[in-house]
């Protein structure tokens, strides 16, 4: 492998939660230099005025416009639907690598590769454009991939998953403000969440011939960050064999871990890890997966993809301690 060089990075849409986490990671990344951070609404403001956890870390200010020349990697952190508009208005320089955190290209249109390293690492390494997976999609897929790869995933799968309030974005809304969200739970988009499309595409690629019915009930949690997913289905495989299947599948995964105790959310929050545990109950296999929705579910996985694309250590900038207490 050729000598590793640092990369210059630009961030489009720098004011949201995912951009804030991305900045935290890249400021401390050994091989990345942030060239600019764009935000139309905050142009001229200090990054730390918006992302207040960055006080003392950077004196950079938001810029109103982008300059794609002279940078190596651009992260698109704006809302869904923005990315297609962005490329309609900007020319992509030769050699520029793109990591899109929106859902615009998760169907792998326009030459994008779906950025789930646990199944697409080799394709990511050779790619120029990456579509970063959704947060729920990451947790749910990691719960199911080994069974699909083994041809053991049944047609009907049942999943309930609870997400933190940061999953709704930084803009305040009726279901995100503290007095409503605190000490409260609520279901939304039951059986119709937008991440189901990308989940089904991945499962169908691993286990062709089955029209997977992922019965997914998302729940708003009364905490800021994290996703706790519980998937189950009827199967003949026993618990020991299932655990071994998962451990073998993720043996080379740098951030996905199958543990023998029941997974909990605090093992994953503030890290790029996915923590998975399995239990068998009366013919039903239960798969629990915990991730941080802003890290493994968004910005951490985006940096992981950058590391793979650029030939860096896959864990560079991502050795984070969980907030276990």
Residue 114 sits in a domain whose CATH number is: 3.40.50.720
Residue 14 forms part of a structural domain: yes
Residue 317 forms part of a structural domain: no
Residue 315 forms part of a structural domain: no
Residue 316 forms part of a structural domain: no
Are 50 and 117 part of one and the same domain? yes
The pLDDT value given to residue 155: 93
Range of the domain at 87: 7-132+298-310
Active site residue 289: no
Residue 323 forms part of a structural domain: no
Q: What's the total number of domains in the chain?
A: 2
Are 212 and 265 part of one and the same domain? yes
Q: What is the pTM of this model?
A: 0.96
Share of the chain above pLDDT 70, in %: 99
Are 116 and 185 part of one and the same domain? no
Are 148 and 253 part of one and the same domain? yes
Closest CA to 77 of 24, 152, 148, 119: 24
Are 216 and 77 part of one and the same domain? no
Residue 325 forms part of a structural domain: no
Residue 271 forms part of a structural domain: yes
Mean pLDDT, the chain, integer? 95
Report, as an integer, the average pLDDT of 72-99.
96
The pLDDT value given to residue 1: 38
Per-residue confidence band for 312, with pLDDT thresholds at 50, 70 and 90: very high
pLDDT of 311 > 60? The answer is yes
The pLDDT value given to residue 211: 87
Are 69 and 197 part of one and the same domain? no
Are 15 and 99 part of one and the same domain? yes
The pLDDT value given to residue 198: 95
Of 169-183, 206-220, 222-236, the poorest mean pLDDT is in 169-183
Are 211 and 256 part of one and the same domain? yes
Are 111 and 143 part of one and the same domain? no
Are 158 and 279 part of one and the same domain? yes
- Distance from CA of residue 15 to its chain's centroid? 18
Residue 172 forms part of a structural domain: yes
Per-residue confidence band for 2, with pLDDT thresholds at 50, 70 and 90: very low
């Amino acid at each position: 492998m050729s000598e590793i060089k640092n990369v210059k990075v630009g961030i489009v849409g720098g004011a949201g939660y995912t951009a804030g986490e991305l900045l935290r990671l890249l400021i401390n990344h050994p091989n990345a230099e942030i060239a600019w951070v764009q935000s139309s609404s905050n142009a001229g403001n200090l990054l730390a005025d918006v992302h207040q956890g960055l006080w003392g870390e950077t004196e950079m200010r938001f810029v109103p416009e982008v300059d794609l020349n002279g940078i190596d990697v651009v992260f698109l952190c704006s809302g869904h639907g923005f990315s297609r508009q962005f490329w309609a208005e900007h020319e992509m320089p030769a050699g520029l690598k793109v990591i899109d955190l929106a859902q615009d290209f998760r169907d792998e249109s326009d030459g994008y590769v779906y950025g789930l390293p646990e199944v697409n690492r080799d394709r990511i390494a050779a790619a120029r454009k990456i579509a970063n997976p959704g947060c729920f999609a990451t947790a749910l897929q990691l719960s199911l991939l080994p069974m699909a790869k083994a041809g053991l995933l049944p047609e009907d799968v049942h999943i309930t998953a609870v997400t933190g309030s940061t999953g709704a974005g930084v803009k305040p809304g009726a279901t995100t403000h503290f007095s409503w969200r605190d000490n409260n739970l609520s279901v939304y988009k039951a059986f119709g969440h937008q991440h189901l499309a990308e989940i089904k595409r991945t499962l169908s690629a691993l286990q062709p011939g089955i029209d997977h019915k992922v019965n997914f009930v998302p729940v708003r949690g009364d905490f800021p960050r994290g996703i706790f997913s519980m998937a189950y289905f009827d199967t003949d495989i026993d618990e020991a064999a299932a655990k071994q299947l998962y451990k073998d599948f993720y043996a080379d995964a740098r951030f996905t871990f199958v543990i023998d105790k029941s997974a909990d959310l605090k093992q994953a929050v503030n890290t790029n890890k996915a923590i998975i545990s399995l239990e068998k109950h009366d013919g039903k296999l239960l798969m629990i997966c915990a991730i941080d929705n802003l890290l493994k579910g968004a910005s951490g996985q985006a940096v992981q993809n950058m590391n793979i694309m650029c030939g860096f250590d896959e864990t560079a900038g991502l050795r984070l301690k969980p907030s276990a207490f």
